[in-house]
């Protein structure tokens, strides 16, 4: 496998900050009274923490962990639930917070299992979307940025657990 390098900053800190605050306002507008955010670990934790701080009023949180990538950049097609939620979703306005929707397999699976827990509503917010990679049709109501088919890291996103700490989003390629 060729060595991978950070080749380009795709989204700057400023671009991300601006868009995340817009997304927070949009979600708040749709759910002014209460919203329950569910972040998909680990990639979404940075996005969640910024989204949350742009959202005044009542917000509650929970976390789950799923894995579709064993290692590296190719999907195994298999999704595993590694950590389940702490609290019930019954009657709540739930928004899944995810870093990126790529093939859509992970979100499709998560939406199915969370819908079965009888939330009042279930929506999804993704910071990034790569529509050209989609293998399954999945609905994502809030999308931060639509990007081309390039592997990106930073702002929570990793390659082999590295680069999550970059404050911007960068392209990783050979
Ligand atoms: P999907 O099931 O193919 O939609 O994959 C979603 C998951 O794959 C995301 O939550 C990420 O963890 C990972 N992923 C997909 N594309 C990228 C990328 O460009 N950089 C880092 N992680 C990615
Ligand atoms: Mg992820």
Ligand 1 atom at shortest distance from the alpha carbon of 135: 3
Q: Report angle CA 159, 140, 21 to the nearest 5 degrees.
A: 75
Average pLDDT over residues 47-68: 94
Nearest residue to 169 (alpha-carbon basis) of 125, 133, 130, 128: 128
pLDDT of residue 54: 97
Confidence grade of residue 74 (pLDDT, cut at 50, 70, 90): low
Q: Tell me which H or E stretch contains 24.
A: helix 13-30
Region 42-71: what's the mean pLDDT?
91
Query: Is 102 a known active-site residue?
Result: yes
Cα 143 to chain centroid distance, Å, stands at 9
**For residues 77 and 53, which has the higher predicted lDDT (pLDDT)?**
53
Of the listed ligands, the closest to the CA of 41 is 2
Q: Which of 79, 81, 99 to mutate to test the pocket of ligand 1 (most atoms within 8 A of CB)?
A: 99
Residues 169/11, Cβ–Cβ less than 8 Å: yes
Contact 158, 166 (CB under 8 A): no
Question: Beta partners for 123?
Answer: 95
84 burial (CB, 10 Å; 0-12 / 13-18 / 19+) is exposed
* Residue range 24-39: mean pLDDT, rounded: 98
Least confident of 18-27, 44-53, 61-70: 61-70
Assess contact for 159 and 4: CB atoms under 8 A: yes
pLDDT tens digits for 126-173?
999 999 999 999 999 999 999 999 999 999 999 999 999 999 999 999
How much is the average pLDDT of 34-56? Answer: 97
Contacts of 4 (CB under 8 A, 6+ apart): 151, 159, 172, 173, 174
Is pLDDT at 44 greater than 70 in this prediction?
yes
Residues whose beta carbon lies within 6 Å of some atom of ligand 1: 43, 68-69, 75, 98-106, 151-153, 157
Q: Look at residue 75 and tell me whether its pLDDT is greater than 70.
A: no
Ion ligand 2 — residues with CB under 5 Å? 43, 99
Q: Please give the pLDDT value at position 72.
A: 55
Q: Given ligand 1 and candidates 65, 68, 140, which is best to mutate, with the most ligand atoms within 8 Å of its CB?
A: 68
């Amino acid at each position: 496998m060729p060595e991978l390098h950070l080749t380009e900053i795709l989204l700057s800190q400023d671009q991300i900050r601006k868009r995340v605050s817009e997304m927070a306002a949009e979600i708040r507008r749709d759910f002014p009274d209460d919203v329950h955010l569910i972040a998909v670990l680990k990639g979404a934790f940075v996005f969640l923490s910024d989204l949350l701080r742009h959202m005044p009023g009542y917000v509650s949180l929970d976390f789950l962990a799923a894995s579709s990538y064993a290692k590296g950049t190719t999907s195994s097609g298999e999704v595993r639930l590694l950590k389940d939620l702490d609290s019930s979703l019954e009657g709540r306005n739930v928004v899944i917070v995810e870093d990126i929707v790529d093939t859509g397999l992970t979100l499709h699976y998560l939406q199915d299992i969370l819908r079965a827990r009888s939330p009042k509503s279930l929506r999804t917010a993704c910071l990034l979307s790569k529509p050209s990679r989609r293998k399954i049709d999945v609905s994502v109501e809030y999308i931060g940025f639509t990007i081309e088919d390039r592997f990106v890291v930073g702002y929570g996103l990793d390659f082999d657990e590295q680069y999550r700490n970059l404050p911007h989003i960068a392209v990783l390629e050979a």
